[in-house]
Structure 1
Amino acid sequence: MLPPEALVAPEAVPAPAGLVNLPVRRLFVGREDALGWLDRTVLDPGVVVVQAVHGLGGIGKSTLVAQWAATHRDEHRPTWWITADSPAALDAGLVALAVALQPGLGAALPSPALREWAVRWLACHDGWLLILDNVIDPDHITDLLARLPRGRILVTSRRATGWPDLVTPLHLDVLEPDQAVDLLTEIVSRAGAAIDPADAAAVCDELGYLPLAVEQAGAYLAQTRVTAGDYLRLLGQHPAHMYRDGGEGRAAERTIARVWQVTLDALADDPLPGRLLRTLAWYAPEAIPRDLWHHTGGDGQEEPAVVRAIGRLAAYNMLTVDPITRAVTVHRLVQAVARTPDRDDPHRQTDDITAARSAATKALTAALPDGWRNPTTWPAWRALIPHIDALATVTRAHSTDSDRGAQAYLLNQAGLFLHEQGSLPQTIAYLEQVLTDLRRVLGDDHPDTLVSVSNLAGAYRAAGDLGRAMPLFERVLTDSRRVLGDDHPDTLVSASNLAGAYRAAGDLGRAVPLFEQALADVRRVLGNDHPHTRIVHDNLQAAIEGANSE
């Protein structure tokens, strides 16, 4: 039974007051020109306004937009923030919006239906503000923008080009020197410390006036009470690892790397914070659930120790913790540096980073819900999918066979959940990767590989792609008979699946005899009363009826 609210059309659901999910506000200084640019935008009823704030990683794009949105929160209903760094993350944010607008829908509708509900709601309402943070590729949001005829959308991205014509871009540069000094001074003074203006100017100059780097430096100075001169000396003695390829973000990566090492030195009395940060670096940057990060301690670490280590990292602005959900966010540049080995950095040794990658996989595996058909597990699955996706993506360049084997399980489980939800393109992408990895690690004849072939064939069939499904169904039956034997349960299922595919393709001449053989085999092996026997019997009858009606 669907709850009553599931039957209410999006058009009939009013915009609730006070629905705002902005991230925790950071200390904000300057940016008067950028704020004025956002303020001067003229909104016409019934016309969508899309603006993209772009610039270097760590430049403060998200902080600027969050500040403006918070200042104008009473003018919009709702104000909704989505981390949109992948199509999967964008979908997850739209699903969350649907549930926020109609809470009863969360356990009633699958994810694709919730996403569609949210888009329909936005399309037929006005006065809302949608923030799409850290868009990697403009193509990821083009279809969404085309469906929204009204409202206001703010985008943040490193991309300066490639935006649709309806998007108005704004380039955001580093802070002005006096603004960076004001930011650093305010952070230090809030902790009850002080810094000379000339020293503050020297630190900001060394950090290139990058807001994120200034914030981290201020946290370090406030926490340790070292002098600005000592801080600059430490930076000089520990030069950052430079990424080999240039392009956007190179200077920012260098600056963050330098600050990252100095900060971890201050936490070196306990190895756990550094280990946790290296592990969290393999996930999506935002909304790492508490049920995931508390598994990342490893080595039998008790939960209080993990919580304390997370708190210490938060004190240095290396990450933030949502005060309500306790979900953790790590800046994507900090993650990038933490994943990059540097033989001159004791916190980024190759073996430690490899161990962290393995720990990230184990923690995600431990956090997976039991099953995926129970609607009560769907919110947990949705929270984990972006992190499974990120782990698989960023690990691909570093993967060993051990990584591939462990992550194949994660991707397979995620693929089965997404299949159940009807998200077939993402399902197929995951299951294709699973099959490739299992063939490489286990070989074609391993039982897990055979199950993977069957899962992928089922996803192709569900997507209507019988041209790719049929050869896989045929191969898995042949291989299962050879490897497992005619009477193995997996072989019996494979025979039934192939017969079903023949029937779906309209080839009843092959479907009926195979169903007949499958039914005889399951009766002999499993008995007449086994559920699978009854399923094969019903499928055979349907196939016979279809053949007789031709």
Structure 2
Amino acid sequence: MDMANSLALFDKKLEWHDDSENINELAAILEHMPLAIVQAAAYISQRVPRYSVSQYLQDFQRSASKRTSLLNSDGGQLRRDGEAKNSIIITWQISFEHIREIRPTAADLLSLMSFFDPQGIPEVLLRSRDRESQHDGKDNDDDDDGRSDINARHSDSDEDGSQSSGNDGFEADTFEMHGLVQLATQQWLKAGKQQERWNQQFVKNLNAEFPSGEFENWESCQGLFPHAQSAAAQRPKKKESLEDWASVLYKAAWYALRMGNGVEAERMSVQVMKVRKKIFGEEHSDTLHAMGIVGMSYRLNGQWDDAEKLELQVMETSKTKLGVDHPDTLTSMANLAFTWKENGKEIEAVRLMEDCVRVRKRVLGVNHPHYISSCIALDAWKAE
């Protein structure tokens, strides 16, 4: 249904309203789904005059649990509305049960898709990473066996709730899934104690495909970044999945940093740092890498003191654990030098970068890009 028809339906159900701006926004958020619109209108009408379209919109945007509560409402006037016999959550879950019964692979595909960003889900991310899979009907959060085959194609996904797009190339195909259908699907999975299992599969698949943030991978990173943002809000519980989750966020944070998105880089990298400290300890190389990105994110966001404190810790720990000549130690020295320079500590910055240049020349050679970049920075600082 398009915007015009959505607004007409709202006008029919809310004859008294005079809040066109919020009605337009609410129709868009409800993705122009007739049942959701009828349900929202019934909920609002039942509570007038103590409740308004604006309040419903604020409540709906507050959290996933609040959206579920609103979309599950079927009391009073909603039951009297012939166009809304059941809530959208209940309606979808009934449909999902039917899909699960007649086409298990389609149900598995939709289960997995419910964790991604709704738009542009690459088909490659929907393939199973498990060697063996089977349907035993007994999957739960404590059972890693019996993973079902999710190599479903378009014919499965068209059953309900998802759409495919793309060109004739197999790798280029992408899918979409209504956000409200995702919400309903996750509620169904949660009730059946399968939510954690599919979240783990989602993280595993995304980690396998998300590349490093190097320049040659930017196009791929751009397409996958919204899914990494979705992953950031869906932290798994098991240690193995937490490592995959941290890896996804680490690579996404690197990409965000390269794109100048300091807010997202900091948000993701801080989560990575906390998880890796807990799993590996503060002196592990993976933890130090995460701390390094957090420090650079702080610097990009103008948080000089926080960046300096963290980068100094990374440098000193790297010297102790890895040695002064280790490339990671040299990187930490360069990072701290840049932070000192931007924080007005020019003398300290020049001295530290001189040390970095000297060791990089000996360890990496004069043709190494890291040596060249540090020389360029040092020459520019001395010329000021």
TM-score computed with the length of structure 1 as normaliser? 0.52
Give the Cα–Cα distance (whole angstroms) in 2 for the partners of residues 472 and 512 of structure 1. 19
The equivalent residue for 1:131 is none
Correspondence 1:274 to 2:98: no
Correspondence 1:306 to 2:151: yes
What's the secondary structure of 2:23's corresponding residue?
A: strand
* Contact 1:29 1:179 survives alignment (8 Å): no
The equivalent residue for 2:22 is 51
Correspondence 1:381 to 2:381: no
What's the secondary structure of 1:528's corresponding residue?
A: coil
Question: Taking every aligned residue pair, what percent have the same amino acid on both sides?
Answer: 19
Correspondence 1:290 to 2:122: yes
Give the Cα–Cα distance (whole angstroms) in 1 for the partners of residues 5 and 152 of structure 2. 22
What's the secondary structure of 2:127's corresponding residue?
A: coil
Change (3 A) 1:467 1:159: farther
The equivalent residue for 1:400 is 238
Q: When you count helix as a share of all residues, which structure comes out higher? A: 2
Count the aligned residue pairs.
335
Equivalent residue runs for 1:403-482 within 5 Å: 403-482=241-320
Task: Tell me how far 1:178 sits from its aligned partner.
Answer: 3.5
Task: Tell me how far 1:288 sits from its aligned partner.
Answer: 4.5
The equivalent residue for 1:332 is 182
Task: Tell me how far 1:313 sits from its aligned partner.
Answer: 5.1
Task: Tell me how far 1:176 sits from its aligned partner.
Answer: 5.1
The equivalent residue for 2:98 is 263
Give the Cα–Cα distance (whole angstroms) in 2 for the partners of residues 24 and 297 of structure 1. 40
* Contact 1:432 1:456 survives alignment (8 Å): yes
Task: Tell me how far 1:441 sits from its aligned partner.
Answer: 1.1
Give the Cα–Cα distance (whole angstroms) in 1 for the partners of residues 2 and 174 of structure 2. 12
The equivalent residue for 1:179 is 83
Q: Give deviations 1:284-336, integer Å, cap 9, x for gaps.
A: 3x2242335433575478xx97334x634532x3x221456642305133233
- Quote the RMSD (CA, aligned, Å): 4.3
Give the Cα–Cα distance (whole angstroms) in 2 for the partners of residues 409 and 265 of structure 1. 32
Change (3 A) 1:136 1:329: farther
Give the Cα–Cα distance (whole angstroms) in 1 for the partners of residues 380 and 60 of structure 2. 47
Whose relative contact order is higher, 1 or 2, with alpha carbons under 8 Å and at least 6 apart? Answer: 1
Task: Tell me how far 1:453 sits from its aligned partner.
Answer: 1.1
The equivalent residue for 1:359 is 201
Task: Tell me how far 1:525 sits from its aligned partner.
Answer: 1.3
Give the Cα–Cα distance (whole angstroms) in 2 for the partners of residues 135 and 264 of structure 1. 33
| 1:502 alignment partner, one of 340, 349, 361 | 340
Give the Cα–Cα distance (whole angstroms) in 1 for the partners of residues 165 and 16 of structure 2. 32
The residue type equivalent to 1:51 in the other structure is N
Change (3 A) 1:525 1:179: closer
Task: Tell me how far 1:449 sits from its aligned partner.
Answer: 0.9
Give the Cα–Cα distance (whole angstroms) in 1 for the partners of residues 345 and 152 of structure 2. 59
Change (3 A) 1:423 1:281: same
The equivalent residue for 1:535 is 373
Give the Cα–Cα distance (whole angstroms) in 2 for the partners of residues 523 and 505 of structure 1. 26
The equivalent residue for 1:390 is 230
Give the Cα–Cα distance (whole angstroms) in 1 for the partners of residues 380 and 246 of structure 2. 36
* Contact 2:280 2:287 survives alignment (8 Å): yes
Give the Cα–Cα distance (whole angstroms) in 1 for the partners of residues 266 and 10 of structure 2. 44
Q: Give deviations 1:170-215, integer Å, cap 9, x for gaps.
A: xxx74754335xxxxxxxxxxxxxxxxxxxxxxx4xx3xx3x3xxx
The residue type equivalent to 1:311 in the other structure is S
Task: Tell me how far 1:511 sits from its aligned partner.
Answer: 2.0
What's the secondary structure of 1:327's corresponding residue?
A: strand
Give the Cα–Cα distance (whole angstroms) in 2 for the partners of residues 367 and 328 of structure 1. 18
| 1:517 alignment partner, one of 355, 358, 361 | 355
The equivalent residue for 1:485 is 323
Give the Cα–Cα distance (whole angstroms) in 1 for the partners of residues 97 and 268 of structure 2. 38
* Contact 1:408 1:438 survives alignment (8 Å): yes
The residue type equivalent to 1:404 in the other structure is L
What's the secondary structure of 1:307's corresponding residue?
A: coil
Q: Give deviations 1:4-28, integer Å, cap 9, x for gaps.
A: xxxxxxxxxxxxxxxxxx8899999
Give the Cα–Cα distance (whole angstroms) in 1 for the partners of residues 157 and 16 of structure 2. 35
What's the secondary structure of 2:187's corresponding residue?
A: helix
TM-score computed with the length of structure 2 as normaliser? 0.71
The residue type equivalent to 1:283 in the other structure is F
Task: Tell me how far 1:387 sits from its aligned partner.
Answer: 2.3
* Contact 2:96 2:107 survives alignment (8 Å): no
Task: Tell me how far 1:263 sits from its aligned partner.
Answer: 1.6
| 1:62 alignment partner, one of 32, 45, 58 | 32
Change (3 A) 1:323 1:176: farther
The equivalent residue for 1:95 is none
Give the Cα–Cα distance (whole angstroms) in 2 for the partners of residues 530 and 31 of structure 1. 64
What's the secondary structure of 1:538's corresponding residue?
A: helix
Give the Cα–Cα distance (whole angstroms) in 2 for the partners of residues 382 and 24 of structure 1. 29
